[in-house]
Structure 1
Amino acid sequence: MSVISPDLVRLDVDLGASATDVITGLAHVAHDAGRASSPTLLADAALAREAQNPTGVPGRVAIPHARSAAVEVPTLAFARLSRPVDFGGPDGDAELVFLIAAPEGGGKAHLKILSKLARALVRGDFLDRLRAATTPEEIVAAVDEVIGDVPAAAPQEGVEKQATHLVAITACPTGIAHTYMAADALAQNAQARDDVVLHVETQGSSSTEALDPEVINRADAVIFATDVGVRERERFAGKPVIESPVKRAINEPGVMIDEALAAARDPQARRVSGTASISEKKQELSWPRRIQQAVMTGVSYMIPFVAAGGLLLALGFLIGGYAMANGWQAIALQHSLGNLPGNEVLIDGATVAFDRSGLALYLGAVLFATGQMAMGFIVAALSGYTAYSLAGRPGIAPGFVGGAISVLIGAGFIGGLVTGVLAGLIAYWIASWKVPRILTSLMPVVIIPLLTSLIVGLLMFLLLGRPLEGIMTGLTDWLSAMSGSSAVLLGIILGLMMCFDLGGPVNKAAYLFATAGLSTGDAAAMQIMAAVMAAGMVPPIALSVATLLRARLFTPAEQENGKSAWLLGLSFISEGAIPFAAADPLRVIPSMMAGGAVTGALSMALDVGSRAPHGGVFVLFAIDPWWGFLLAILAGTAVSACAVIALKQFWPSRAVAAATVDA
């Protein structure tokens, strides 16, 4: 059965005044020809696709398309309209409309039709034949010539057998946005191709669904789009591999897939090691890059401690009152559900009064105590997992030991960064020693952790501890003394950093700086946290507003992203702005930095403080004054939105001017 037949063609008809009318009319044509069980289901699927991006293309042609359960075989319905209709095409209302309908599980057959039609539509002779045809048979003949041998019921199994099988891992330091955006970009690119079958495993913050071992066995090559270490990397041992930072998969998914295809065909291509990634890193990455990646790994593992602990502290304050912080340990340990505290509690021989009592005070203290325990791990986790990234499992124990020593001597997160890198490098060095076979099994379990912990401890107590403690003390004193113009200047710097790379290393450095002092409860640290969170919320919200106000300045894909970016912004997920920045960095990034600087400055000037490290507007109860927080965000959003609109208006983007709808 051909994808098109004379009974699927309508010439010089009036199907209505809108794209909805035309698509509905063609769905009925398909139904009347016996190609669709329900015209309503088919029309709804095509209209849903049309709502994502209009399907008008150059030549005054429209190609609405969809997969639907109402269709059993790929079908092409055609109408030459006597009353042209707007399908969002670049050169006017559409006169020629193709409705491409494919089975819901029918593989990529409709994409073959779409790609061959798209190539034919740029040929003037093909369009002339469609416009000059006097019978449906002439239309069918013209279309059959350009579509060629695309079968009406192309089996997915056949396509997969001929295609190259790839698997991919995506992972970013926070595991919140980049991880899933990279996976979507790779998957969507592969879906539009006939030569690739791709399966992606996201190693993010939410639950990870591991790739089926059979899928890995069938894979011809592997893509690692990560900024942190790949978990259970040994599963891919012996497979050709390409590796890049996670943002490259977002910006250049097609290039990465092409590189993987080339690696699959190259017998000399680099392959995944069956033991650990250390040797491969040595061959592929410079030491500065390895250390940077290690620190990002440490930050990635630290963030859950910060988020859980910080939010628990904020909930403790909400329930037990702010005065509870003066005696949370005694309240949590000396009382229980059967022995609730009153307004006054005996602490260290002195009676301390609180503004709340009973269950509220006790539960608040319990939540606060739990949060304090979680926050107490952040320096050790930062240090331990930084060392793990450099040296593998033997680096974990000395890294944690070094982090604990940093907390003990007052070196804080600066000491944790230093001990993490030191522990990782020392453990890596010891692992390279040539030892008798009898000691080989003891090296990773006993000898490396023991010697590395000993060396790191001696270095910290005898040499590095006091200087690092002095640096941390000086930094803390400086933050505590901030006021007036100096606080505003710091807010500007933090705002610029948060919006510079939207979730990259600079953004993470500002976030780490903010969260490092949160456990102290110091007012200056809470103000820094508020400024960082507010500035990080601005880019997605501003770009969402800009696409709403001046949609024509953005590509259809950006307009679609703008519909959800505002929610990401309100949740403090700066990565929601990445698709815009990747497509147009010269206009988007400076605009976002301007708004971030305004927000950071206003937040600091208004003495806004946040006891929560994450959550955006959903943790307003932990922000004081809340109105100052919202005012700073609104001001920064207005600046960024106006700036990006102005730049795109007076410095037009070629990508927008030349945008055409793709599949």
Structure 2
Amino acid sequence: MELKDLFKSKVSVFQADLKSKDEVINFLVDKLSKEKMVTNKKTFKDAILKREGEASTGMGDGIGIPHAINNTVKEPCIAFVSLKSPIDWQSLDNQPVDLIFMIATNDEKGEAHLGALADLSKFLMKPEFQKALRNAKAFKDLSKAFDNKIETKTVEAKDGKYDVIGITACPTGIAHTYLAEEKLIEYATELGLSVKIETQGRRGTENKLTQEDVDNAKVIILAHDKNLQGMGRFGGKQVIDTTTKDAIFNGKQLIEEFGKTEKTTTAKSVSSKDDEVSDDFSLKKFAQVKGNLLAGVSRMLPFVVAGGIILGIGFLIDFAAGSGSVPNLIDAIWRADWIEAYKKANDNKEPAEELIKAAWSNYWMGNFGTHNEVAGWFSAIGKTGMMMMVPILAAYISYTIVGPQGLMPGFIAGLLADGTGGFAYASKPGGWSGLWSVLFPLNESGETIIPMQSGFIGGMVGAYVAALLVFGLTLGFKKFNKSFHGIRDIVLIPVLSLLGISLTMFVLNIPLGYTMYGLQQFLKLLADNNLLILLGAILGLMMCIDMGGPINKIAYVTGTLSVSGGLGNDPLITVTMAAAMAGGMIPPLGIALCTLLFRNAWTQKEKDSAKANWLMGAFFISEGAIPFMVTDPKRISLSAMAGGTITGLIVGGCKITLGAPHGGIAVFPLLKSGLFGTSAEQMNSGGAIGLGVGLYILAVAIGTLVMASILGFWKTYDIRKGKLVIAN
């Protein structure tokens, strides 16, 4: 995303006659609320005023940047107003302002808009840019001002050694952080010195200083308004510890007088472990549920995608090897063993031929991918990758909340939730298998009767519990004697958190296991009662609501569970995965098609960008639609939801199954239709596969056309009514 894309014509006003700071804030907040970019005007205004109360957002040079990160912001943007007459803003340079940028963000749209906001500081520092904005009479003038490239000239470091280094950080991590960085670079360059500045902003730590950078620097400036991370690097070094305001306006003087004024102090030695317990280590992290979940899912995806595609290769080889032809001897032995067991349990009665066929079909279907030796080699790799799905999900949710110490207990929570390894839970315990299961009632055959595997639901809950345990233990041991920090971090916290999460999961897995069991039974009920069409529609809709967000991920994870066996072994259960993947392909493909069918409804830049969506959509990468949705959320989302729902209806109605959790067109050969039966022979026939592939392509094509048509006609109508302006 480019910086100018965050500016919108409807919330950009030029030469307004406003007389006070309060009047400007009310004016811009009203604009954002009227245009539906903020869902709760009062809440957002309170957040703006709270930030103003912490420190002035008047940056100097006649510029004010009120800003807030708030979940009422629907669409990250920058509202702008230039004033006829400057007003007081309690600016850092004590001068009035006439250019005000109100930054509204929800901290949920990823790197794109954060990077653009960081770039804003580079523009605001340039006199020519300020002049262009003061002369702007319309939105096109504002947009044009951003077309000029801003290049920051620097002095090259000699032998990789920088003269001036520093860190900048402010509470919100958006404005002051990057303004201070830009000014320090400018001041150092003006003095003919090489410079490297680390920023600890909303995008995390960037341009990180190494220990070598610190050891070789002549000047070290720490400009911050919140606690810094990584202070262990500066122990015993001479530094100037100051504010971002001081760095912005007095940075040149700070560099020139380094070591000569009372501002130069010696940094205290700090343990690197203590750096982890910073101001970011707080209960606020627990409230960021969406961000934590998405962090876990993003780390989980490589295991699912790679494992799923390789598992799909195993399935393809098994099918190509001959429709499940197992050597006749093994076939006969298995049948004989099963028949003898049946006779013993049923007064020596011979099972009916239909019963034998059904049992053999279930056996073969349940072990599909293992009958051929080569297929089994690939399937083993795929299964190994996919079985890490829930443990990795839980581990990184916990890690996101409390850092490295949360990784181990989070991982264990996922293992116990999913029953991975079989040590704690097993359907038929014995020896090292099912050591926890034996503590609960078993049936006459020695099998468990209580569902105790809670899957991804238990993994997510367990991750939060693991993080809470680490949080409490870390704070409890914070004042530990320094000489015992190694024991604390390597022994005490890991051991106690492992015991704590294990006990917690032992208790929670029963109610959560029943929850997961209920989900399985619900899906089975839909399959048994020919309601898969409803299931397909729901999943297709969910995949298109937020395109990579939590609702999308819930639908996708549900689909992957059907592939891994987490939702049972019903032959039709993987309709769940087929519907999820088809729905996820619609947004990028629908946008790409719309740019071809309705060329006048898109800018040339959008049409060029949409070309990549053909490939992204074909390989099931829904995120290709996100850049378009950010700029036009209502039209893109609603049209995608319509297309996804229809696609899901067709997939569910045609009983199309998919045995791989990702890959798009790469795994189309694994598609099958259960319209003519669900036995192993019927599902693996050439007709079932051909029908499945053909109907699936039709479903995706129809959904894509529906989305493109709705989106295109909607945009065209709004262009005619003057509600939408296409500026090429």
* TM-score, normalised via structure 2 length: 0.52
Look up the match of 2:564.
519
Match among 392, 398, 411 for residue 454 of structure 2: 411
Separation of aligned partners in 2, 1:297 and 1:357: 33
> Cα offset for 1:385?
2.0
Separation of aligned partners in 1, 2:369 and 2:198: 64
Separation of aligned partners in 1, 2:618 and 2:244: 40
Deviations 1:477-496 (A, max 9, x none): 21122146742222222222
Query: Secondary structure, in 3 states, of the residue corresponding to 2:476?
Result: coil
- The 3 A distance-change label for structure 1 pair 314 and 431 is same
Could you tell me whether the CA contact under 8 Å between 1:166 and 1:197 is conserved in 2?
Answer: no
Pair 1:477-2:540 in alignment: no
Could you tell me whether the CA contact under 8 Å between 2:166 and 2:223 is conserved in 1?
Answer: no
Look up the match of 1:468.
512
- The 3 A distance-change label for structure 1 pair 534 and 359 is closer
Could you tell me whether the CA contact under 8 Å between 1:498 and 1:507 is conserved in 2?
Answer: yes
> Cα offset for 1:527?
0.8
Separation of aligned partners in 2, 1:617 and 1:395: 38
Look up the match of 1:644.
711
Alignment of 1:2-401 (within 5 A): 218-219=196-197, 221-225=199-203, 265=248, 276=275, 279-282=278-281, 285=284, 287-289=286-288, 291-321=289-319, 342=327, 344-345=329-330, 361-401=372-412
Deviations 1:117-173 (A, max 9, x none): 9999999xxxxxxxxxxxxxxxxxxxxxxx9xx9xxx9965899xxx99999xxxxx
> Cα offset for 1:652?
2.2
Separation of aligned partners in 2, 1:263 and 1:546: 51
Deviations 1:525-584 (A, max 9, x none): 411111111111111111111111111111222111122211111111111112221111
Q: Could you tell me which runs of 5 or more consecutive residues in structure 2 were left unpaired when the two chains were aligned.
A: 1-121, 138-144, 158-163, 169-177, 187-192, 215-221, 227-242, 252-270, 337-359, 420-424, 426-451, 673-691
Look up the match of 1:431.
474
Could you tell me whether the CA contact under 8 Å between 2:532 and 2:655 is conserved in 1?
Answer: no
Pair 1:487-2:532 in alignment: yes
Separation of aligned partners in 2, 1:241 and 1:538: 45
Look up the match of 1:631.
698
2:542 aligned partner, one-letter code:
M
Could you tell me whether the CA contact under 8 Å between 1:399 and 1:420 is conserved in 2?
Answer: yes
Query: Secondary structure, in 3 states, of the residue corresponding to 2:526?
Result: coil
Could you tell me whether the CA contact under 8 Å between 1:221 and 1:261 is conserved in 2?
Answer: no
Could you tell me whether the CA contact under 8 Å between 1:411 and 1:470 is conserved in 2?
Answer: yes
1:377 aligned partner, one-letter code:
M
Deviations 1:83-132 (A, max 9, x none): xxxxxxxxxxxxxxxxxxxxxxxxx9xxx9x9999999999xxxxxxxxx
Could you tell me whether the CA contact under 8 Å between 2:592 and 2:610 is conserved in 1?
Answer: yes
Could you tell me whether the CA contact under 8 Å between 1:313 and 1:367 is conserved in 2?
Answer: yes
Look up the match of 1:547.
595
Could you tell me whether the CA contact under 8 Å between 2:399 and 2:405 is conserved in 1?
Answer: yes
Separation of aligned partners in 1, 2:593 and 2:604: 15
> Cα offset for 1:449?
1.6
> Cα offset for 1:607?
0.9
Could you tell me whether the CA contact under 8 Å between 1:537 and 1:569 is conserved in 2?
Answer: yes
Query: Secondary structure, in 3 states, of the residue corresponding to 1:219?
Result: strand
Deviations 1:234-272 (A, max 9, x none): 999967599xxxxxxxxxxxxxxxxx998973899xxxx
Separation of aligned partners in 1, 2:399 and 2:550: 19
Separation of aligned partners in 2, 1:572 and 1:225: 27
2:601 aligned partner, one-letter code:
L
Separation of aligned partners in 1, 2:370 and 2:559: 32
> Cα offset for 1:656?
9.2
> Cα offset for 1:429?
0.9
Separation of aligned partners in 2, 1:477 and 1:432: 42
- The 3 A distance-change label for structure 1 pair 513 and 223 is same
- The 3 A distance-change label for structure 1 pair 119 and 413 is closer
Separation of aligned partners in 2, 1:658 and 1:610: 43
1:225 aligned partner, one-letter code:
R
Match among 440, 453, 458 for residue 503 of structure 2: 458
Could you tell me whether the CA contact under 8 Å between 1:488 and 1:605 is conserved in 2?
Answer: yes
2:462 aligned partner, one-letter code:
T
Separation of aligned partners in 2, 1:510 and 1:570: 19
Separation of aligned partners in 2, 1:294 and 1:416: 13
Pair 1:505-2:488 in alignment: no
Query: Secondary structure, in 3 states, of the residue corresponding to 1:432?
Result: helix
- The 3 A distance-change label for structure 1 pair 325 and 464 is farther
> Cα offset for 1:633?
0.6
Deviations 1:578-633 (A, max 9, x none): 22211111222111111111111111111111111111112111222111211111
Look up the match of 1:201.
none
> Cα offset for 1:287?
2.9
1:646 aligned partner, one-letter code:
F
- The 3 A distance-change label for structure 1 pair 347 and 165 is farther
Could you tell me whether the CA contact under 8 Å between 1:309 and 1:372 is conserved in 2?
Answer: yes
Q: Name which of structure 1's ranges 303-312 and 629-638 shifts more when overlaid on structure 2.
A: 303-312
Separation of aligned partners in 2, 1:394 and 1:532: 34
Look up the match of 1:615.
663
Separation of aligned partners in 1, 2:329 and 2:386: 27
Separation of aligned partners in 2, 1:441 and 1:216: 38
Query: Secondary structure, in 3 states, of the residue corresponding to 1:523?
Result: coil
> Cα offset for 1:325?
11
Query: Secondary structure, in 3 states, of the residue corresponding to 1:279?
Result: coil
Query: Secondary structure, in 3 states, of the residue corresponding to 1:481?
Result: helix
Could you tell me whether the CA contact under 8 Å between 1:488 and 1:602 is conserved in 2?
Answer: yes
Could you tell me whether the CA contact under 8 Å between 2:601 and 2:726 is conserved in 1?
Answer: no
Look up the match of 1:535.
583
Separation of aligned partners in 2, 1:230 and 1:119: 29
Q: Could you tell me which runs of 5 or more consecutive residues in structure 1 were left unpaired when the two chains were aligned.
A: 1-107, 124-146, 169-189, 199-214, 243-259, 328-340
Alpha-carbon RMSD across the aligned residues, in angstroms, is 5.1
* TM-score, normalised via structure 1 length: 0.57
* Identity fraction in percent: 30
Q: Name which of structure 1's ranges 490-499 and 531-540 shifts more when overlaid on structure 2.
A: 490-499
1:532 aligned partner, one-letter code:
A
> Cα offset for 1:373?
1.8
Separation of aligned partners in 2, 1:551 and 1:598: 24
> Cα offset for 1:297?
2.0
Separation of aligned partners in 2, 1:222 and 1:614: 35
Separation of aligned partners in 1, 2:207 and 2:136: 47
Query: Secondary structure, in 3 states, of the residue corresponding to 1:502?
Result: coil
Separation of aligned partners in 2, 1:385 and 1:568: 26
> Cα offset for 1:390?
2.1
1:417 aligned partner, one-letter code:
M
Query: Secondary structure, in 3 states, of the residue corresponding to 1:218?
Result: strand
- The 3 A distance-change label for structure 1 pair 642 and 414 is same
2:669 aligned partner, one-letter code:
F
Query: Secondary structure, in 3 states, of the residue corresponding to 2:553?
Result: helix
Could you tell me whether the CA contact under 8 Å between 1:317 and 1:324 is conserved in 2?
Answer: no
Deviations 1:163-200 (A, max 9, x none): x99999xxxxxxxxxxxxxxxxxxxxx9xxx99999xx
Pair 1:402-2:413 in alignment: yes
Separation of aligned partners in 2, 1:370 and 1:551: 46
